[in-house]
Amino acid sequence: MLADQMGAEVQTQLAAQGITAVLDVIDLRDFATDIANNMVTGYAGPALSDVVQRVAAADAMIAVTPTFSASYSGLFKSFFDVLDPKFLDGMPVLFGATGGSSRHSLVLDMAIRPLFSYLRANTMATAVYASPEDWGSAGTQSLERRIAQGAGELAAVMARVSHAGTTPAGTDTSASPSTASPALAGGPVVGHGVGHGIVGHREKRAQRETFDMTSLPFEQLLAQTQAR
């Protein structure tokens, strides 16, 4: 529900700037077995490979996870573990989380933001957390404001790239500018998507197409990490 609202708001704000956004929603629950198998074998089956390519083709990401034990869900983390370490380099990311209490809102900056910072994603300054009280009549307006603020930041980044003519290949910007943003879902509750990395993001995306997007043997992954 939260991921859907965030995605819809990004689409609305981009539409106001004459940009049509295509939202590709990915619910990681549907690929939990594939992700687990890839973690063990290092091999991504056809279904997971398709998901990886859909994410690779995106101009931005909206990522939302339920909160478990004061952190992101294991499924959410495992999905990023099976990707090439350079996969999110420079990609604009708006993220959020849900939880049973507002006391868990620190998960945004204590767990999720460090994850995307390590992956060198271009994270938005605003993140969105939603707890049960946010869905009541009293909390709805506050949640809507936070969603609008975060969506506005992502839309602004994507609009600058689009208007500058740096929308990744395969997107027709001559007549009807468009951009894609996947929403990744993890866990049983919700779906999952400003700093540096805006300039040159198209080139980084082209580089990602040559990367191995699936998990690597531990020794190889460790060597790559130490070399960074």
Check residue 133 and give its pLDDT: 87
Check residue 183 and give its pLDDT: 57
What are the helix (H) ranges across the chain? 2-15, 32-41, 46-56, 74-81, 107, 113-118, 137-163, 201-208, 218-227
What are the domain boundaries of the chain? 2-227
Spatial distance between the Cα atoms of 199 and 202, rounded to a whole number of angstroms: 8
Q: Work out the widest C-alpha separation in the chain, in whole angstroms.
A: 52
Q: Which of 3.40.50.360, 3.40.50.300, 3.40.50.620, 3.65.10.10 would CATH assign to domain 2-227?
A: 3.40.50.360
Question: Span 45-71, mean pLDDT?
Answer: 94
| CB-based contact 57:87 (threshold 8 Å) | no
| Higher per-residue pLDDT: 33 or 140 | 33
Mean pLDDT for all residues in the chain: 80
Tens of pLDDT, residues 89-146: 999 999 999 999 888 999 999 999 999 999 999 999 999 999 998 887 666 789 999 9
- pTM score of the predicted model: 0.76
- 202: which residues sit within 8 A by CB, 6+ positions away? 161, 166, 167, 168, 169
Tens of pLDDT, residues 3-14: 999 999 999 999
Nearest of 77, 113, 66, 69 to residue 93 by alpha carbon: 113
At 150 the three-state DSSP class reads helix
